Copies of this chain bind each other. A is one copy, B any other.
Amino acid sequence: MSLIGAIEAGGTKFILAVSDEDFNILDRKVLNTTDGPSTLAQVTAYFDGFPDVAAIGVAAFGPIDLNPQSPTYGFVLDTPKPGWANFDFLGYLKNWRDIPYYWTTDVNGSAWAEYRHGANSEVASLLYLTVGTGVGAGIIVNGQLLSGFGHPEAGHMMVQKNPRDRYEGHCPFHHDRCLEGVASGPAMEDRWGMSAKELKDDHEAWMIEADYLAQAAMTYTTILRPDRIVFGGGVSHRDVLLPLVRQRFAELMNGYLATPVLDDYLVPVANGDDAGILGCFYLAKSAMTRA
């Protein structure tokens, strides 16, 4: 029986894992992310210990090139992170072991886990929104991860400034005009002088955060009409948040469009911290079948 590999490649740490074909996790290792070549050398050294790994799913921090027609397919693109800009991540792996790889973004990896594994696997279409250091979305429609000219950067959609919010915004490109600029973890910390973790449940921060996430959910709903929107990432962990988002979403939508019952529509993650590597396993298996 073949084994499957997972590389959840984050900007601060890499999680490597190996499973059997039924997605039972057999081994796992965490690395600190350094530069591209040094980190990948550690990655391949780890998988050298598992010669039966026959396909690997890679969910990488970005921006990355996902277009198979592009000459830089498989590369990390322009990033301020030292030793990663224009690094041929996928090419490095293929040179090391010529097996099928599924190459996608970190957000897409988690989105795919939510879509395929656990409580959300009953739905046909899904948007996974992560709200943490950044804000991003993985989108599944017609059974496929949505990708076009590039991968979604749905955290940079425009929002209306909450009238009680005086914060100038955290996005270096769009300031307070985009979702990430006003709703990411660093935006919350910068605005309130303490981290989201430190903010009490009755702090007005949560009403303002809920307004922005509800605006995002409304815009995603009108454009994509997904069967479900799943909230992940550090900020979304707070129990106080999702009920406020549902309430504000209902106010904003104002009865205009049919959606599933909101308790089943705007939901927390089902797979928690394992979502990233689970998504890699599922995607790796699909790459094996395809190859």
Contacts and interface: CB of A to CB of B under 8 A. Distances in A.
B149 A226 contact: yes
Interface in A92-137: 124-125, 137
A248 to B, nearest CB: 12
Interface residues of A, number: 46
Contacts of A150: 225, 257-258
Q: Is the interface of A mostly helix, strand, loop or mixed?
A: loop
A266 to B, nearest CB: 13
Count of chain copies = 2
Interface string A207-230: 000000001001110111111000
15 contacts: A137-B223, A148-B224, A148-B225, A149-B226, A149-B259, A149-B260, A152-B224, A152-B225, A153-B256, A156-B222, A157-B218, A157-B222, A174-B256, A177-B252, A223-B223
Nearest to A180: B222
A141 interface: yes
A223 B178 CA distance: 12
A147 interface: yes
Contact of A158 (B178, B219, B226): B219
A41 interface: no
A141 B149 contact: no
Contacts of A255: 173
